Structures are given as structure tokens and as C-alpha cells.
Amino acid sequence: MDHRYHILSTYLEPFLSSDVRWVFVSDPRRLFPQDGTVQIHHAAYPILLYENSLQLRTALEVQKDSPSKTPQIILSQQEPAQDHLVWDYVVRSQYLLCTPRKLLESLRPSYHWSSEVDQLEGEDLWKHLESSLQDRGYFGEEFTAHACQRLLLSVLLEQDVRPGFTYDIVCSIRREMSTDPCIQHVKHHYPKLYRYLETQIQQLIPIDEQAQDDEAFARFLWTFDALIRHEQPHEIFLPRIFKEDWHRFASISPEVIAETCHRIEKQQPARLFDQIRLTEEWLTLDSQRFKLFNSCIGVDPKDPMRTADFLLNERYFCVPIREGLRILAQKVIEDPSYIPFDILRKIVAHLQRGHLMIANHGEYLQMQAFVHLFGDLTELSYLLHYAGTWENDGELRTAIRAWADEFYPNVIARLEYLRDRIEAGNMKHELVPPQILQMLRDRVTQLLTRYNALFQELVAADYPNWINNATSPCTVHFLDQILVPYYREHAADKQRPNALVLILHGLRWDAWELLRPRILQAFQGKLALDGVRCLSAVLPTVQEHCQHALLTGGISITEGHLLESQIRDAFEQRHLAGIFAPEADTDTLLSHLETSVHCVLIASISLFDTSILRTQHKLAALYEHMVRNFEERVEPLLQRVPDETLVFIVADHGMVETEGQGTLWTGDRLKSQRRFMKCSADSDDGVLGGWTIFEGNRIALSDAHYAFAGYGQHLAGEPTGRYTSGGISLQEMLVPCAIFVPKGPGQLEMF
């Protein structure tokens, strides 16, 4: 301590006259001790620490105007701006600003120092005074700001970096950045000096190697890369996004950052995933920072097209992708024509195949499921928009083929399944708010109601012609127009020309689309899909009538005759051998195919258990149950079908969703199910209150009248359940018929 007072005395004397009474020393770096006495010109100057204005005035007020009192050093270790509070004492004193630079230059007048040395705090200066003076001699007269900072780091880190930084030195320092007490001391007390140290590390260590160990730098690297990739205005927001990290890394050029990110992507993709995840966690910790970042890269609720451009180009980040998809999803529902559907499809395709994180780590934030949900919503919106363009198509009012060839299979059939799948997915992933999703659901319901009413009018006017016209796409003509011609062509050059007719009970068109890839996979390349036709089931759309029409070529059911015998008679008339095995297991069916010659084997399988149909499950859940049943009951059969077998997979009828209380029918009912009834009413043919009435003779049934429910109608009091059949609707009547042929050389499995 005596040595310190002596140095301060030597430092002060040249600046002070011998008769000065008060000395006001401004000492913001705390070089002076806070008490004791300093000898100046053989006079003792006690140190009075200025803590606050009241304390100082209380101590000095009595001495202010008395010339006989002792001298005093008034020591202020606050920032100079605070000294104005006692300005009246400053002007009565000799004022002196004490800095490390002035003190060191007073000790060795031959050496000058740069202003960087004024960072030193008093405790560190006195602790390292001798080494600082000694190290200063290393530089001679040329002493730049960089040299001064290397000197300070040498004494504070106790590691000689005066000659400059080398790769080995910076690697050693970087390894100990978070643990070495000397480095931590510099970090907390000398931020400017610490930034200089980081700059030296950045210059000597490859930037991607720095990102491996420095989380802050990894966050900066990928965040800044996103900002420059999307070429949106962002420069003025960088300090607000990165805060204290901005000064550390601001000197790194955008070109270096882009090159580094590209190199990590190509050479270390696993690190890319870890660093993106780390960066996104950091971004979302601060809602304001995340909002600002999103705005800078193009995720903008006020500008969906700008958001779409971001989604088309982003390849790494996932959380902004989720936000961007939410913006577009809501806009697509509110205004389907605002964003072109081609752009929406490109976004989905890019995210599924071109986005590195989603393509390779789709489980992260459930991004694959999220993008798939957005894809479903995009497809549903497109189908709704496209369906609206058919409203004035005259053929829909006059021809069943207009429905069967394109409009129903390609447009209407998927609406309900997509709607239900979107609703189920939205509960998990919250793509759009519930009230916005309800708008979509209402549009689906309105469109299905409108087109089903149009279809019902066509059925009422033209159904009798369908069943009597052999060229119409009706299941009653399946035997003569599809099965027999295909089988005879197939039998011409096969040793064992067998065929399998697999009737999947209640299979709608959308369910067929879901099963199609599984069916082709089950055939293991042995069979190729030769075509899929959309047929109209007969009325009533129930199993007994529809399977009879498919397999006998007639609608009228002969009372007292089993379906099996009627099928045999129908096949014999066409010179075919038919085996009807509706309840047979896989081994029995395969045995028939393997041992029989010139045989058509017929099997009927239901993929929907009665119990599940009577629940309130939505279509998406119902189809999950259907797929499980397919894997258990049908897939093993298809996998073992002999190579030369001709296979027909056809539905007898579909099913429709029913809601509400149903219709109370007051007339006489001879027979009824939920969606149709046989009655003795004398009503004229036509549509009445949502029901279509036919005289039985006109539709190849009995003499009675038949009433069939339209879409949204059913009989009250019948067994309940969400899905049923029997009436007139697109979902019940238009069904798939797929033909699979033995695969020839060079033939594709699907075309």
C-alpha cells in the first residue's frame, strides 16, 4: 500500500502547486485507494471519498470558507458526468482527471501508451503494474492500438500474445473460454478487449469449426444466413435480433457466412440439424426477436404472397415454416383464388423433397405431418374450387358418364375423406383456428348437398334406362361388359386361365384410392393395373341386391333361390364355371385357384365391421380401421395369388354419412331400411321431399313402389349409425371396378 501512495504522490506533484488547498481527483477507473493520506510537496492530503452530494457537503461545509483548514483530496470514483452535482466544490479545487494512461506515462515518460490501456481497472493495474511496464518495453516506440490490446491480454490472461496470435494459441484459448477464470474475468470486466480476443479467434480458426463449439456463434451463423438468403431488408434490425452477440460477429462478411453454411450442409449434415434446432430454440425464447426475424425473412401475415415466396425457398428452418403455412392455410380458406394452386402445390412439393430438415428429420416438430396436413388442405381447396366450375355443365343433368368418367372419381369422391382427415390433423397441429376450419367444412357440406341433389334428379329421370342399356356404366352389366370379355381374352393364351372376382363390400371410391397402392404392393409385381372404371350400383344400394346384380347380370331376385345357385345359372348361360365362396378363408380360396382350370372364383369380403359402422367415428378413423382389416383379410390372399390369375376388385355399393333425426314416414311400409323402403303408396314417380319414388316394375323390382332417400335423408326409428347405405347418393352409387392382368414383359405395374 505504501508503494501505491508513493507512486500516486509522484504522479500528482507535477500537476499541483505547493499552496493548493483542495484537489478534486476524478478517478473513474478506481486507481486511488478510498482512504488514507497522500504526501504532496511535503504536505499531507487526506483522501475524502465522494459518495453522494449530501455526504460530501456535510463533511466539507464547515471548511469551505475557512483558509486555515487542512488540505484535502476529494476523490470521485464515479463517472465524470456525476461530478456536476458538486460543481461548487470542483471550482474551489484544483481539478485532475486520473487515467491509467496518464499514470503509466508518468512512470516511464519515454514510452507512450494508446487509449486502449484506459480500459484497465485500478485493481488490475496495480496487480500487473510491473509486468505491464516490463512488457511495454517489448514494443519500443511503435505502439499501436492492436499492440496495446495484445499487451493487456498478455498480462490479464497470463499468456504471452505480444508477438501476435497463432492457431495453437487461439485453439488453446477457445477450449478454455467458458472455464478459465482469467478469460471469464476479461469477459465480464473488459467487453471491448474480449471482443478483440473473439475477433482474433474468428480470423484464425475456420468459421465452421467455431460454430461447432460456440453455441452463440452457431446461432448467429444460421440466423444471419437465413436473413441474407431471403434478400429482404434486415440490416437495421440486426442489433435488435442479435443484441449483445451482434458486436462479436458483425465483422464477418455475408459471403463467408453463406459459404460456411453451404459447406456444413454438404460435409456435416448431422451438425446442421443440431445447430438449426439450437437456433430455433434461441429464436423462440424471445417472442419479439422471433417476430422480427420472421418479418425479415418474409413470414408476413399481411402479405401472403411474400410468405409463399419464403416457403418456396426456405431449406433449413422449421418453426418459421409452420408460421408461414398457418398464414397461407387461413388465406386459402378465406379466399381460395388469392394464391394460385400451382404455387401451393410447388410449396408442398418443395417442403416434402427440397427442405433438408423435413425430408431427413420429419419427426422434428412433427413437420412431415404438418406439411402433409397443409397439402391436404391445399388439395381440398383446389377440389372445391374446381368443382364449382362444373355447376353449369349440362351433361351432369343428362348423362351418367359425365359423373362416372371424371367428375365424381377425380373431384367429388375425396372431399369428405380430406375434410375429416384435415379436422383430425388440425386437432393435433393447429394449422388453422377452429372457426376458420368450420368455413371449410360448411363449403364441403354445401357442395355435396348441391351436387347430390343434381345427381338425384338424374337418377329419378334416367335410372330405368341405365339398367336396361347394356352400354351404361352400371354394375348390372359388369358380368357381360367387363368380366366375360376380359376372361375370354385372358383364357386364349393361358394354361390355367383362372380369375378372381373380389367384392369389397361397401367400398367407396375414396377408400379405393387409399387401398390402391397397398393392393399393387401386395401383388409384388406379378399383376399390372389394366384400368379402373367407375360404375353405378343398382337400387336399393344394399348388399343383397347389389351383389346379385354384379354376379348374375340381373336385378330381380327370385324368391327362395340362393344367390349361389343364381350365380351358377348365370355363369353357365355364359359358358363359365363360377365358384362362389363368400365366407371362405385365404387357404380355401387359394386352393380353388391352384387346383381349378377355367374357373372364376368369387369372394365377398367386408372391410368394415358392423360395430364400427354403428359408431360415430369420422371417415378418417373409419378408414384406419378398414386398412387394418385389409392387411389382415385381403393382403395375404393377394400376395399368394398365382401369377396367371386375372383379378377383378369391385365394390357392390358404397355408403353415406347420415346425421340428424331422420324422416317420419306416415304412409304404409311393406319393408324398410334406413335409406329406402318398399311401400304401397300410390305416389307418382319423382323426387318428393328429398326422397325419390319409383314404381317397382320400372326398376326391375316387384309391383310395389319404392322410396329411396337422397343425400342427407334417412328414416327415423331405424337402427342408428354414422354410415349406412340403401339410398341415392354419389357416395353410395358410384363405385370402383379395378382390373388386374398378369404382367407381361416390359409392362408396368400401374398405368
Partnered with residue 671 across adjacent β-strands are 678
Q: DSSP for 317-332, please give it.
A: -SHHHHHHHHHHHHHH
Name 518's Cβ contacts closer than 8 Å, sequence gap at least 6: 627, 630, 631, 635
Whether the pLDDT of residue 372 is over 80: the answer is yes
Residue 561 and residue 479: Cα distance in Å, rounded?
A: 20
Confirm if 712 and 449 have CB atoms less than 8 A apart: yes
Q: Identify the helix (H) or strand (E) that includes residue 251.
A: none
C-alpha triplet 339, 341, 345: angle, nearest 5°: 115
Residue 328 and residue 305: Cα distance in Å, rounded?
A: 9
**Alpha-helix runs per DSSP H in 61-178:** 87-91, 100-107, 122-127, 129-136, 145-157, 167-175
CA distances from 532 to 159, 405, 548, 631, 751 (A): 80, 10, 21, 21, 10
pLDDT of residue 751: 39
Whether the pLDDT of residue 497 is over 90: the answer is no
The closest alpha carbon to 177, from 155, 154, 201, belongs to 201
Q: Across 106-120, 413-427, 679-693, 736-750, which has the greatest mean pLDDT? A: 413-427
Residue 70 and residue 67: Cα distance in Å, rounded?
A: 8
pLDDT 10s digits, 86-137: 887 788 788 888 999 998 888 888 888 888 999 999 899 998 888 888 888 8
**pLDDT class for 740, splitting at 50, 70, 90?**
very high
pLDDT of residue 267: 84
Residue 377 and residue 422: Cα distance in Å, rounded?
A: 7
pLDDT 10s digits, 405-418: 989 999 999 999 99
* Number of alpha carbons in the 13 Å side-chain half-sphere of residue 370: 24
pLDDT 10s digits, 220-249: 999 999 999 988 777 888 888 998 888 878
**What is the signed CA dihedral for 221, 222, 226, 227, rounded to 10 degrees?**
-40
Residue 538 and residue 397: Cα distance in Å, rounded?
A: 19
pLDDT 10s digits, 280-336: 999 999 999 999 999 999 999 999 999 999 999 999 999 999 999 999 999 999 998
For the entire predicted model, the pTM comes to 0.72
Partnered with residue 72 across adjacent β-strands are 22
pLDDT 10s digits, 431-479: 999 999 999 999 999 999 999 999 999 999 999 999 998 888 999 999 9
Confirm if 555 and 545 have CB atoms less than 8 A apart: yes
Cell of 323: 408460421
Across all residues in the chain, what is the average pLDDT? 87
**pLDDT class for 661, splitting at 50, 70, 90?**
low
pLDDT of residue 245: 82
Residue 652 and residue 538: Cα distance in Å, rounded?
A: 9
The closest alpha carbon to 389, from 417, 411, 416, 419, belongs to 411
Residue 708 and residue 537: Cα distance in Å, rounded?
A: 13
pLDDT of residue 16: 83
**pLDDT class for 358, splitting at 50, 70, 90?**
confident
Confirm if 627 and 481 have CB atoms less than 8 A apart: no
Query: For 191-220, what is the mean pLDDT?
Result: 81
704: three-class secondary structure by DSSP: coil
Query: For 188-197, what is the mean pLDDT?
Result: 88
Cell of 498: 383362372
Residue 453 and residue 449: Cα distance in Å, rounded?
A: 6
Residue 244 burial by Cβ neighbours in a 10 Å radius (0-12, 13-18, 19+): exposed
- % of the chain residues with pLDDT over 70: 93
Residue 145 and residue 401: Cα distance in Å, rounded?
A: 87
pLDDT 10s digits, 512-571: 999 999 999 999 989 999 999 999 999 999 999 999 999 999 987 766 567 888 889 999
Whether the pLDDT of residue 488 is over 60: the answer is yes
Whether the pLDDT of residue 748 is over 60: the answer is no
